[in-house]
Structure 1
Amino acid sequence: MTGHFPWITAHTGCMDTLDNTLASVEEGIRLGADIIEDDIRVTRDGIAILAHDDIWQSVNGRTIQISALSFEELKSVEVIVDYAGKTGKMTFSTLEDLLLLIKGSGRTVNLDLKVNEAIDAAAALVHKHDMLDQIFLSGCGADRALLAQQRHPELKKLLNADSEHFLNRSYEEALEQTVSDALAAACFGINIYHEFVKPELIEQAKANGLKVYVWTVNDVSLMKHYAALGVDSLTTRAVEDLVQLKKSMQQ
């Protein structure tokens, strides 16, 4: 392993919790994750909430669209969750709720933006609670990363590597484009699906001063592999396994 062990990022819905819930945030913090990741969308009236999708089914059979409802209309709606092998019910939590938990814990939060409107909504709350040092943005392809840089250059952000580049172009071309896009938008690093990570990506990123954050790695043997490659962060739902691996590798 090169350098320090990668930062442990708790994917939303880590362990046995439901995605986009405060219970997931609390579990990541409890288990010792360095970074907590969650998905951010915006209601019709601009309230940032924790949600991966725009469309949901309520427990009484209604179709709910987050972007079409005010938070007042949405906040008491209970929806059905059937995602990542877990089922349940939940009501929506706000980004402000999340930030207050993170601020008290001293951890860092990765805000995975699902819509452009979330940029301004997130920035307003980050400034309200004086948390510039505890947050960064992800979910930013090249266009969203540039937009975030134009609107709020003070917010740190990762470039989400475009999977299409790595699927449809040579690895060298995809890598060159990814690094170029990250630098153009003043990103501090690259957020990339683990299957696209090779040693040359690590080398090129480091040569350009970019961190490499890898998602989503739930298998212990793969955790060992990417830790040995020298990535800067591993995102996982299996936080407890990654915490135990860190302890064993550091010993």
Structure 2
Amino acid sequence: MIIVGHRGAPLEAKENTIQSFLIAKNLGVDAVELDVHLSSDKKLIVFHDDAVLINGQNTVQISDLTLEELRKVTGIQVPTLEEVFETVGDFNYVVEIKKSSAFYPSIEQRVVDAIRERGLVDNVNIISFDFDAVKRVKEIDEKISTGIIFVGRLNWFLEIAKKAKANWLGIYYQLVTEEEVKNAHQSGLKLNAWTVNDLASAEKLERIGIDALTTDNPRKMIEILKSRKKNT
């Protein structure tokens, strides 16, 4: 079972920062997950929220701020996607596009270009709640792995994944059943359960055949799950 660090290792460093990703990598995760928006100066920025609060009063959309403005108002050295790839290096990444090109012009193409430039086509899984974003990525480069994230029962999303030519489905961990895992696998899809932070749930997911889990606490998951495998 693949262990993915959700926004890196957010219990040990600020989420979605290079420090967080490096900690997760050094802990031994199989991949790190990160979120991507497009700033007003067309930078691929790694940040979770759609908007930020300025001076405790005004909510401003990420798309209305430049990268430097975002860094200033948050007090965080918000990285670009390219900076993450350059610093964390040749590793495995789960890249969530937060909104499709209907909101962020050409964001899918920009993300694919960044992946290609770094030579990471085989190391990245691009995911989104937005069906159109996933579908568009496959239209740009069918070699890149993709996944649709959802909340709900799996069977309805199997058809959506098929239409988008997705490789993965990201499912809320409390909704996963053994039957759904089997149905996904029979449809040629892999399942990533999110966001798993307790051992009992992780053990259950591993037992029923989940392919990957995303966690806020990679240190605990790795220490327990991977050490147990060594002893079996």
TM-score, with length taken from structure 1? 0.82
Q: Structure 2: which 5+ runs fail to align? A: none
**Where has structure 1 moved over 4 Å in runs of 4 or more?**
58-64
**How many Å separate the matches in 2 of 1:208 and 1:13?**
30
Structure 1 counterpart of 2:4, one-letter code:
T
Contact in 2 for aligned 1:35/1:110 (Cα 8 Å): yes
**How many Å separate the matches in 1 of 2:88 and 2:120?**
9
1:82 aligned partner = none
Deviations 1:32-80 (A, max 9, x none): 0001001110112321011111211357977543201233x4265141x
Q: Structure 1: which 5+ runs fail to align? A: 1-5, 80-88, 167-173
Contact in 1 for aligned 2:8/2:22 (Cα 8 Å): no
**How many Å separate the matches in 2 of 1:230 and 1:211?**
10
Percent of aligned positions with the same letter in both sequences?
22
Structure 1 window deviating more from structure 2 (151-160 vs 127-136): it is: 151-160
Structure 1 counterpart of 2:2, one-letter code:
W
**How many Å separate the matches in 1 of 2:56 and 2:191?**
43
2:72 maps to 1:92: no
Deviations 1:100-124 (A, max 9, x none): 1333xx4200001112133122111
**How many Å separate the matches in 2 of 1:8 and 1:68?**
34
2:146 maps to 1:157: yes
2:6 maps to 1:11: yes
Counterparts of 1:100-179 in structure 2, within 5 Å, are 100-103=86-89, 106-116=90-100, 117=104, 118-161=107-150, 163=151, 166=152, 174-179=153-158
**How many Å separate the matches in 2 of 1:154 and 1:10?**
23
2:70 maps to 1:42: no
Contact in 1 for aligned 2:99/2:130 (Cα 8 Å): no
**How many Å separate the matches in 1 of 2:36 and 2:7?**
11
Contact in 2 for aligned 1:46/1:121 (Cα 8 Å): no
Q: What is the aligned residue count?
A: 224
**How many Å separate the matches in 1 of 2:34 and 2:53?**
20
**How many Å separate the matches in 2 of 1:76 and 1:90?**
5
Q: Residues 108 and 186 (structure 1 numbering): CA distance in 2 closer, same or farther, change over 3 Å?
A: same
Structure 2 counterpart of 1:188, one-letter code:
N
**How many Å separate the matches in 2 of 1:217 and 1:233?**
10
TM-score, with length taken from structure 2? 0.88
**How many Å separate the matches in 1 of 2:33 and 2:190?**
17
Q: Residues 146 and 198 (structure 1 numbering): CA distance in 2 closer, same or farther, change over 3 Å?
A: same
2:212 aligned partner = 233
> Shift of residue 241 of structure 1?
1.1
**How many Å separate the matches in 1 of 2:52 and 2:168?**
32
Measured on the aligned residues, the alpha-carbon RMSD in Å equals 2.0
Deviations 1:115-164 (A, max 9, x none): 21331221111111111011110124333322322334332101112x2x
